[in-house]
Structure 1
Amino acid sequence: MRFFAFALTLILLSTTARGADIYVDNVRGDDRNLGNSAAFSEGENGPIASIAKALRIARKGDNVILTNTGVPYRESITLQGGNNSGWEFAPLTIEGNGAILDGRAPIPVDGWKHVQGDVYCFAPTYKTYHQLYLDDRPAKRVEVEDMSQLDTLKPLEWCLTDGMIFFRTEKDRGPGCYRLSYTARRTGITLYEVRNVKILDLTVQGFQLDGINVHSNCYKIELGAITSRGNGRSGVSVGGASRATISKSLLGDNGAAQLRGEGFSKTTVIDSTLLENTAPATFRDDAKITIDGQEVTDAPAAETAQALRLFPQPDAPASPLRR
Structure 2
Amino acid sequence: MLRTFWLILFALSIVPTVGFARDVYVNNQIGDDRATGRYEQPRFGGEGPVSSLGRALAIANRGDRIVMADTGVPYREGVTLQAGRNSGEPDRPFVIEGNGATLDGSEPVPPDAWEFWRGEVFRFQPRRFSHQQLFLDDRPLARRTLDANGGLPDLQPLEWCYIGRHIYFRPEPDRLPGSYELMHASLPVGIGFYEVHDVVVNGLTVQGFQLDGVNAHDSAFQIVLDDLVCRGNGRAGISVGGASRVTIRNCLVGNNGAAQVRTEGYSRTRIIDSNLLDNTAPAVVRDGGSVNIVPPADPANGGAP
TM-score band, normalised by shorter chain: 0.7 to 0.9
Contact 2:238 2:260 in 1 (8 A): yes
**Per-residue deviation at 1:293?**
7.4
Q: Deviations over 1:207-257 (max 9, x none)?
A: 111110011011010111111111111111000000011111111111111
Q: Which amino acid counterpart does residue 254 of structure 1 have in structure 2?
A: N
Q: Which amino acid counterpart does residue 218 of structure 1 have in structure 2?
A: A
Cα distance in structure 2, aligned partners of 1:151 and 1:251:
26
SS for the counterpart of 2:56 is helix
Question: Which residue number in structure 2 is paired with residue 180 of structure 1?
Answer: 182
**Per-residue deviation at 1:136?**
2.6
> C-alpha root-mean-square deviation of aligned residues, in Å?
2.2
SS for the counterpart of 1:172 is coil
SS for the counterpart of 2:175 is coil
Match of 1:249 among 248, 251, 258: 251
Identity of aligned residues (%): 48
Q: Deviations over 1:272-291 (max 9, x none)?
A: 11111111110111210101
SS for the counterpart of 2:50 is coil
Q: Which amino acid counterpart does residue 248 of structure 2 have in structure 1?
A: I
State the TM-score, normalized to the length of structure 2: 0.88
**Per-residue deviation at 1:270?**
1.0
Q: Which runs of 4+ in 1 moved over 3 A?
A: 145-151
Q: Which runs of 5+ in 1 are unaligned?
A: 295-323
SS for the counterpart of 2:55 is helix
Question: Which one has the largest radius of gyration?
Answer: 2
Cα distance in structure 2, aligned partners of 1:247 and 1:264:
20
Q: Deviations over 1:285-315 (max 9, x none)?
A: 1210101179xxxxxxxxxxxxxxxxxxxxx
Question: Which residue number in structure 2 is paired with residue 83 of structure 1?
Answer: 85
Match of 1:162 among 161, 164, 189: 164
SS for the counterpart of 2:102 is strand
> What pairs up with 1:292-307 in 2 under 5 angstroms?
292=294
Q: Deviations over 1:79-136 (max 9, x none)?
A: 0111111122211110111111111111111111122232211111111221111233
Contact 1:34 1:47 in 2 (8 A): yes
Cα distance in structure 2, aligned partners of 1:149 and 1:267:
36
Q: Deviations over 1:162-202 (max 9, x none)?
A: 11111122333211222211111111001111001110111
State the TM-score, normalized to the length of structure 1: 0.83
Cα distance in structure 2, aligned partners of 1:229 and 1:293:
20
**Per-residue deviation at 1:150?**
3.8
Q: Figure out how many residues of one structure are paired with residues of the other and give that number.
A: 286
Question: Which residue number in structure 2 is paired with residue 306 of structure 1?
Answer: none
Cα distance in structure 2, aligned partners of 1:151 and 1:208:
23
Greater mean alpha carbon deviation, residues 244-253 or residues 162-171: 162-171
> What pairs up with 1:70-219 in 2 under 5 angstroms?
70-144=72-146, 149-150=151-152, 152-219=154-221
Q: Which runs of 5+ in 2 are unaligned?
A: 297-305
Cα distance in structure 2, aligned partners of 1:212 and 1:150:
30
**Per-residue deviation at 1:147?**
11
Match of 1:258 among 241, 257, 260: 260
Contact 2:152 2:163 in 1 (8 A): no
Contact 1:118 1:174 in 2 (8 A): no
